[in-house]
Chains A and B, each alone.
Chain A
């Protein structure tokens, strides 16, 4: 079964909060490369990890993850 893409805004949130990949990885208890793969959309996290990422950034999970691409900054929608 082909894996359905899950889009995320981890890189944007991380840059906004000034958090490095290694810091985020340490807070989540994952390898720092996993954060990179998540940001590149090459790995879709488990529900548990997704919730913990949302919790880390103190936002609802749908702010971080979506089944549809996020609108680009400055676009009308």
Chain B
């Protein structure tokens, strides 16, 4: 087994572990997670907008750092919980998924692709409108361009997971959970007797 296969196996096992279950137990909570994930991406876009407006300046650097820290503070638990809820549907290589998971991933990518097209169209319109009045004299700070491209890439990267988390139905109970529930009921009945 080469290094890549080992890594994939490690990730696949990690995805099977229940992490932050309280955050993604119900569909409502999962959708709230998706909203939080989208908000974290919006912070990156806000970062780019701040750079466009006031970069280069010390204030821009400070605001960028604060926004990045807040973004990461939201992003890390959200992605961990959504990956656990979807069992790595959007993250694992296709060889580690079964036919249902592959089909669901393709669906998630299809919806994400549609959303991405809308974002790209909106971005193109925004840039044209924002630079229209200055015509060929308009200047965009390099920091804003870099952060804008980074936000675009990050959005593209995260959207399939957000779509998969939004669409995910409540998973069927595990056999072990069934057994545990049966045991608990038996204990309750024994206690009552």
Tell me if chain B binds chain A: yes
Interface residues, chain A, with chain B CB atoms under 8 Å away: 20-22, 29-37, 39-40, 42-43, 45-46, 49
Chain A: minimal CB distance from B105 (Å):
12
Whether A34 pairs with B174 at a CB distance below 8 angstroms is: no
Q: Residues of B contacting A35 with CB < 8 Å?
A: 172
Within 8 A of A (CB), among B91-115: 97-101
Instruction: Name B172's contact: one of A29, A30, A33, A49 (CB within 8 Å).
Output: A33
Chain B: minimal CB distance from A50 (Å):
11
A42 to B100 CA separation, bound complex (whole angstroms): 10
- Closest residue on chain B to residue A28 by CB atoms: B98
Q: Residues of B contacting A46 with CB < 8 Å?
A: 99
A20 to B172 CA separation, bound complex (whole angstroms): 13
Chain B: minimal CB distance from A37 (Å):
6
Chain B: minimal CB distance from A48 (Å):
8
Whether A43 pairs with B100 at a CB distance below 8 angstroms is: yes
